[in-house]
Amino acid sequence: MARIVGGVTTSHIPAIGGAIAKGLQGTPYWKPFFDGYAPVRSWLDKVKPDVAVVIYNDHGLAFFLDQIPTFAVGAASEYPNEDSGWGLKPLPPVHGDLELSWHLIESLVADEFDITICQEMKVDHGFMVPMMTMWPEATAWPVRAIPIAVNTVQHPLPTAARCYKLGKAIGRAIEAYPEDLKVVVFGTGGMSHQLQGERAGFINKPFDQMFMRKLVEDPEALTRLSNTELVEQAGSEGIELIMWLAMRGAMTRGVSVVHSHYHIPVSNTAAGVLVLDNAA
Amino acid sequence: MAWSKHDYDRIPGTYVFNGRRSALGYPLNRMCMSFNHAENRESFKQDEEAYCQRYGLTPEQRDAVRARDVLKLVQLGGNIYYLAKFAGIFGLNVQDVGAQQRGMSVDDFKAMLEKAGEPTHG
């Protein structure tokens, strides 16, 4: 049977990709951020997952505002990365897992999640930056991946509670998959940040620290936050944290913390990373 | 006909990207989406006015594009992720754009972000 070997949350700020491309990981600005990823990489090297289910949001590469799925699941054998407007060199495509994708899709729909099925899906920095930070030295991606895109761009967005339930459904689906696979679930985005308006540059450290603690100990408490409260507390773009709750939902009720790291700022954002292990 | 009111309207300096804003900003965001392709960025640079015209931007939106006024563009329905593609054409990153919207220098803006990480702030 497939097994969830852990959950990882990580920010997916595009500047991280730029820093990796330019080899700036050791500079005074970037070192405190990248140092937080060394333990994640050692953990991944030890656990050696076969598949990563990556919960992320698209920022205008796969989807435009003409058609915005609330939840979209990739069902492709390959996910290409392309120019998102800044002329960065595209990263190598990530291989998918068709059978697991369709198993997930069937299971989620049976579980009353009316997802959008994507047999072609480009993946932008929201997906790729986590891949790069987890496996920066890989010449070929060492895992297959399944992108699950959550709408965090066009309001109304799904609620924190809904994302948590989606995570639970993802967890059930993975654990019911008959093949022996080790699956890691990534919840990406956040933490607090705001890119727009006169409040641009808003960061809320106490909120982020509370969020990281509760995500481990009492995620249900976080599902009671409304999207308005999340925008207010985490910033208009920090609401991406609903995707951390989706990852958390896929895990067992009790979890242990393998690693936790928090750093301000990366670009305009508070960056957080957590590695969680299911209760034995 | 009336647009629904939302409790998030009370959050200062924040323009939650809802249906009303998205409908208003649709031509602008559609133009920004086209900037995913290098040849479109080039063709915008060669004749901005014609390019904006082709996407049907309103006169107000065209003025704000001309002025590189990101805050105004947000107020006119631009989504910040799409506007980031526009700003990128002029070599502006999200910190430049953040500072501009907040009305401070980029150095002050960066210092403010650094300060948010200090122990006294949590």
Residues of B in Cβ contact (< 8 Å) with A15:
93-94
Q: Are B52 and B106 within one domain?
A: no
Cross-chain CB nearest to B8 (options A86, A228, A268): A228
* pTM, entire model: 0.97
Interface probe with B: pick from A195, A212, A226, A264, most Cβ of B within 10 Å: A195
The pLDDT, as a whole number, for residue A139 is 78
What ipTM is given for this predicted complex?
Answer: 0.96
Q: Do B116 and A205 touch (CB under 8 A)?
A: yes
- Provide the residue range defining the domain that includes B115: 92-122
Q: Do A196 and B109 touch (CB under 8 A)?
A: no
Angle (CA) B11 B93 B55, round 5°: 80
Residues of A in Cβ contact (< 8 Å) with B33:
60, 64-65
Residues of A in Cβ contact (< 8 Å) with B80:
195-196, 236-237
Q: Are B83 and B96 within one domain?
A: no
Using pLDDT thresholds of 50, 70 and 90, give the confidence band for residue A145: very high
B68 within domain boundaries: yes
CATH number (domain holding residue B77): 1.10.700.10
Distance in angstroms (rounded) separating the CA atoms of residues A126 and A59: 7
**What are the distances in angstroms from CA B3 to CA A135, A262, B20, B66?**
46, 40, 7, 29
Q: Are B82 and B101 within one domain?
A: no
Using pLDDT thresholds of 50, 70 and 90, give the confidence band for residue B1: confident
CATH number (domain holding residue A185): 3.40.830.10
For helices B106-116 and B94-102, angle between their N-to-C axes, nearest 10 degrees:
100
Q: Are B109 and B77 within one domain?
A: no
Q: Are B30 and B80 within one domain?
A: yes
Q: Are B34 and B85 within one domain?
A: yes
**Minimal-distance CA residue of chain A relative to B35:** A85
Give A255-271 pLDDT, tens digit per residue. 999 999 999 999 999 99
Cβ of residue B53 closer than 8 Å to a chain A Cβ? no
Q: Are B36 and B79 within one domain?
A: yes
Q: Are B70 and B80 within one domain?
A: yes
Q: Are B66 and B109 within one domain?
A: no
For helices A242-249 and A205-217, angle between their N-to-C axes, nearest 10 degrees:
10
**pLDDT exceeds 90 at position B54:** yes
Q: Are B114 and B64 within one domain?
A: no
- Provide the residue range defining the domain that includes A252: 3-278
Mean pLDDT, residues A9-23 taken together: 91
Q: Are B30 and B83 within one domain?
A: yes
Contacts of A79 (CB under 8 A, 6+ apart): A93, A94, A95, A96, A121, A122, A123, A127, A145, A147
Residues of B in Cβ contact (< 8 Å) with A197:
13-15, 71, 74, 101
Residue A110 burial (10 A CB sphere; 0-12, 13-18, 19+): exposed
Of the candidates A193, A259, A261, A263, the residue annotated as catalytic is: A193
Give A61-110 pLDDT, tens digit per residue. 999 999 999 999 999 999 999 999 998 889 999 999 999 999 999 999 99
Mean pLDDT, residues B58-62 taken together: 98
- The count of domains in chain A is 1
B12 within domain boundaries: no
Mean pLDDT, residues A151-155 taken together: 98
B58 within domain boundaries: yes
Contacts of A175 (CB under 8 A, 6+ apart): A1, A2, A3, A4
**pLDDT exceeds 60 at position A132:** yes
Distance in angstroms (rounded) separating the CA atoms of residues A162 and A211: 17
Q: Across the A/B interface, how many CB contacts are shorter than 8 Å?
A: 142
- The count of domains in chain B is 2
Average pLDDT of chain A to the nearest whole number: 96
B39 within domain boundaries: yes
3-state secondary structure of A135: coil
The pLDDT, as a whole number, for residue B122 is 45
Specify the higher pLDDT residue, A160 or A89.
A160
Q: Are B96 and B86 within one domain?
A: no
Cβ of residue A199 closer than 8 Å to a chain B Cβ? yes
Interface probe with A: pick from B4, B28, B36, B115, most Cβ of A within 10 Å: B36
